[in-house]
Amino acid sequence: MAKLDLLLINPGGRELIYQGLGAELSAVEPPLWCRLLGGYVLDRGYSVEILDRSGETRARGRRP
């Protein structure tokens, strides 16, 4: 297993921000800032992974 230098976590939180409207009226957005920061670190030769909790919730079919 390769060594991981940086783990970026996108915690989500749609249910806290939008409350009841979050399940039906808000979209799951890609982790743009994690991707930008991760790209910067990758360009410098380090390994990066992104854990996108908001995407995992929707992908598993559970409502927040």
Please report the pLDDT score of residue 17 as a whole number. Answer: 67
Q: How many Å from the N-terminal Cα to the C-terminal Cα in the chain?
A: 33
Residue 1 covered by a domain:
no
Residue 12 covered by a domain:
yes
Give this prediction's pTM.
0.65
What is the residue range of 41's domain? Answer: 6-59
Residue 21 covered by a domain:
yes
pLDDT tens readout for residues 6-22: 999 888 766 666 677 66
pLDDT classification of 38: cutoffs 50, 70, 90? very high
What residue has token string 């991981």? 4
pLDDT at 1 over 80: no
pLDDT at 62 over 60: no
Residue 18 covered by a domain:
yes
H or E stretch including 51? Answer: strand 48-52
Number of domains in the chain: 1
